[in-house]
């Protein structure tokens, strides 16, 4: 069985401006299946996802944590194809 290809997406997060904010976002994203948090800095995270639903789950988890976000690297143009 081959591993599912992952694609790294950068997501900008509005209002994530301190260490406590970074912790809240990393906690929310780390709870998700099929998502690997690669890097978290103030205002931005990089996540490895397996499909479009995974990206939707990331955006939803960030919203549920009280922040607005948008991907700056769209799945169609990032570094690897996403399995459908």
Predicted confidence band of residue 80 (pLDDT cuts 50, 70, 90): very low
For the segment 20-45, what is each residue's pLDDT rounded down to a tens digit? 999 999 999 999 998 999 999 999 99
Pick among 3.30.70.141, 3.30.70.100, 2.60.40.10, 3.30.2020.10: CATH of 7-77: 3.30.70.100
Q: What are phi and psi of 78, to 5 degrees?
A: -85, -165
Domain ranges of the chain: 7-77
Asked whether 46 and 26 are in contact (CB, 8 A), the reply is no
């Amino acid at each position: 069985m081959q591993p599912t290809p992952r694609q790294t997406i950068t997501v900008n997060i509005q209002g994530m401006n301190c260490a406590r904010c970074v912790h809240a976002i990393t906690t929310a994203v780390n709870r998700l299946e099929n998502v690997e948090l690669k890097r978290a800095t103030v205002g931005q995270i990089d996540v490895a996802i397996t499909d479009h639903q995974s990206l939707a789950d990331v955006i939803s988890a960030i919203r549920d944590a009280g922040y607005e976000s948008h991907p700056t690297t769209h799945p169609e143009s990032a570094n690897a194809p996403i399995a459908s």
